[in-house]
């Protein structure tokens, strides 16, 4: 792993691949881990598409979805989009230190997250988001001397654990957020309909962090976990979800080196992905989960599973 540079935060020249895309991902959960959400913006230049996802979940509440694959690609260098019933602006306020997201839109509250794979029929609700992701650098080393923003040398992506604060409004309910999350930025070919993968990132109650990616058919993954002396890179990553109806996991565990992390779902916000050229389908359950390790640590995380439908 290496530390990204401020220039990495800028938009990148597109590659030649049909499925080349550049994406920005932000998730969060509150300090108790009971409520959270995620935002994703992807510029799919060679498909002439822009994908925007904003999903909000919580314990004992309906998941809320804003899914738009028809937004116009934002003019460089910014990341502001406007579409029917949707405005969103993602901005690097201070490179590698602070990222903001604003959303004003109408979402759909579903009785069952599995309905996200169908017609998305549900209650229409207004959604407002004003959140900031501040890089959580003080826990990387005991003296806080190094930034906590890490680039995987074998990929064109970097991951940044963050402190997340601001306000989320769903309908008439306003929530002040002072919690935790992760943001990442990647630019490469991404074929959702070829291989499955697991992405997993979270925080334990002792302040330690982890991230893990396992790709179907590959023996090695990429990941890290924190220690008092910094981050430890891991490549031995195995994902073992227990799948329920429609492939949405009921529980499971991910092995990160010698650490086994069990997860229990709090709320799922899946997305259905259709290749615009050939109609291939991939299901993409992404959810907020509670976690516990084989050494007794507890915490919360976001986990996702890409599931191409062969």
Q: What is the three-class DSSP state of 46?
A: helix
Q: What is the three-class DSSP state of 269?
A: coil
With CA atoms as reference, report the closest residue to 225 among 255, 185, 183, 196.
255
Strands 98-109 and 79-83: unpaired
pLDDT at 310 over 90: no
Rounded to whole angstroms, the Cα distance separating 181 from 136 reads 9
Residues shown for the chain:
310
Kindly list the distances between the CA atom of residue 79 and the CA atoms of 6, 74, 101, 132, in Å, as whole numbers in the listed order. Answer: 17, 6, 10, 15
Query: Environment class of residue 86 by beta-carbon count within 10 Å: exposed (0-12), middle (13-18) or buried (19+)?
Result: buried
Rounded to whole angstroms, the Cα distance separating 161 from 244 reads 30
List % helix, strand, coil for the chain (3-state, nearest 5). 5, 60, 35
Q: Average pLDDT for residues 152-156, to the nearest whole number? A: 81
Span 67-110, pLDDT tens digits: 999 999 999 999 999 999 999 999 999 999 999 999 999 999 99
Count CB neighbours of 82 within 10 A: 12
pLDDT band at 138 (very low <50, low <70, confident <90, very high): low
pLDDT at 143 over 60: no
- Greater confidence (139 vs 6) lies with 6
CA angle 159, 165, 168 (to 5 degrees): 110
Q: Average pLDDT for residues 247-270, to the nearest whole number? A: 97
Query: Environment class of residue 192 by beta-carbon count within 10 Å: exposed (0-12), middle (13-18) or buried (19+)?
Result: buried
pLDDT at 144 over 50: no
Q: What is the pLDDT of residue 140?
A: 45
Q: What is the pLDDT of residue 141?
A: 46
Rounded to whole angstroms, the Cα distance separating 136 from 202 reads 13
Contact 11, 77 (CB under 8 A): yes
Q: What is the pLDDT of residue 148?
A: 67
pLDDT band at 212 (very low <50, low <70, confident <90, very high): very high
Contact 162, 182 (CB under 8 A): yes
Q: What is the pLDDT of residue 201?
A: 97
DSSP state of 2: B
pLDDT at 185 over 60: yes
Rounded to whole angstroms, the Cα distance separating 155 from 147 reads 20
């Amino acid at each position: 792993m290496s530390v990204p540079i401020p220039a990495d935060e800028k938009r990148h020249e597109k590659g030649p691949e049909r499925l080349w895309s550049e994406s920005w991902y932000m998730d969060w959960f509150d300090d108790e881990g009971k409520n959270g959400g995620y935002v994703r913006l992807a510029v799919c230049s060679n498909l002439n598409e822009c994908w925007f996802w904003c999903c909000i979940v919580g314990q004992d509440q309906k998941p809320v979805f804003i899914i738009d694959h028809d937004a116009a690609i934002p003019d460089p260098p910014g990341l502001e989009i406007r579409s029917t019933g949707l405005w969103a602006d993602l901005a690097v306020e201070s490179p590698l230190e602070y990222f903001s997201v604003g959303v004003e839109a109408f979402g759909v509250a579903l009785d069952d997250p599995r309905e996200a794979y169908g017609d998305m029929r549900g209650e229409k609700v207004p959604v407002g988001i004003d959140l900031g992701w501040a890089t959580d650098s003080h826990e990387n080393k005991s003296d806080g001397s190094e930034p906590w923003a890490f680039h995987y040398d074998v990929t064109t992506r970097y991951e940044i654990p963050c402190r997340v604060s601001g306000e989320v409004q769903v309908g008439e309910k306003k929530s002040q957020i002072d919690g935790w999350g992760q943001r990442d930025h990647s630019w490469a070919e991404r074929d959702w309909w070829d291989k499955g993968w697991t992405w997993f990132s979270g925080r334990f109650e002792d302040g330690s962090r982890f991230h893990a990616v396992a790709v179907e058919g590959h023996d090695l993954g990429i990941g890290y976990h924190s220690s008092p002396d910094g981050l430890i890179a891991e490549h031995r990553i195995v994902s073992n979800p227990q799948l329920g109806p429609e492939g949405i996991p009921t529980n499971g565990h991910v092995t990160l080196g010698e650490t086994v992390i069990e997860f229990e779902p709090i709320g799922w916000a899946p997305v259905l992905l259709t290749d615009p050229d050939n109609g291939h389908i991939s299901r993409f359950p992404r959810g907020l989960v509670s976690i516990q390790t084989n050494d007794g640590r507890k915490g919360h995380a976001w986990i996702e599973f890409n599931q191409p439908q062969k």
